[in-house]
Amino acid sequence: MIRLAAFDLDGTLLDHDMRYSARVAGALQRAHAAGIIVVLATGRAPDATRRFVDAFDVVAPAVCFQGGIVQDFASGQVLCETRLDPAALPFLVQLAAQHGWPLSFETPAVAYLANDSAHNAAALRMINLGRWTRVRSLLTDLPAVPHKATLFVAEAPARAALIAALRAAVQAAGLPLTITGSHALIVEALPAGLNKAVGLQWLAQHLGVAAAEVLAVGDNDNDVEMLRWAGVGVAMGNSSAAALAAADWVTAAVEQDGAALALERYL
């Protein structure tokens, strides 16, 4: 029996124009009305996630920053939190500059870009979902240690090469970082061992829900661990190869309301 349903945002509940359908919103609301705990599990910051918590009438805490924050919006409390190791920041800044990778560091409310960053229009469009600002230096002008680093590629085929190069450099440097792809144009550097399954498992235990009672729906590499951990893992029809391989079932693409179909099938 499913008691908790966790959903990724981009590419799962939201299409590539960051819109959601009335059918998907209605399915989430009906699930909540039926007593299912509906959870948003996203790589986005809490500040950017709040608008969808409100739009979908979600009352449960959200898993943000790929598991780096479990945020209870009802109380305003951060229930669980993991930040980047400060020692990794100079390494990431230097490596991004060396390769010309557009880099930003993210905190719960603001994403920080360097004044001279080369973020293109597509990257800025995705960042614009939340608040962001430019700073002179990503090493001296951040108000707090960030939760994650985000790097962008201009075209989707370049993502795999960036991930491979970044993982190799991280391994050679022996730094405590996990590298994952979260969007066709996005690569993220996270605290070592962090993923959505970590945050979702913490929240499920906090709520007294077993893994076997969890339905998880996602579409990209950063959803893989969550899909494997949940009692039922569902990949969207538009998913990456890794997400498809990790799923128990594949639903329709986001444009065909695959998330609503998953709820209708399992609930």
Contact 231, 215 (CB under 8 A): yes
The token pair that represents 256 in the structure block: 């065909």
pTM: 0.94
CA–CA gap between residue 220 and residue 45 (Å, rounded): 17
CB neighbour list of residue 69: distance below 8 Å, 6 or more residues apart: 46, 63, 78, 80, 81, 82, 108, 147, 199
* Residue 142, helix vs strand vs coil: coil
| H or E segment and range at residue 39 | strand 37-40
Contact 16, 23 (CB under 8 A): no
Task: List, for the chain, all residue ranges whose pLDDT scores fall below the cut of 70.
Answer: 128-129
Q: What angle do CA 97, 103, 108 make, to 5 degrees?
A: 145
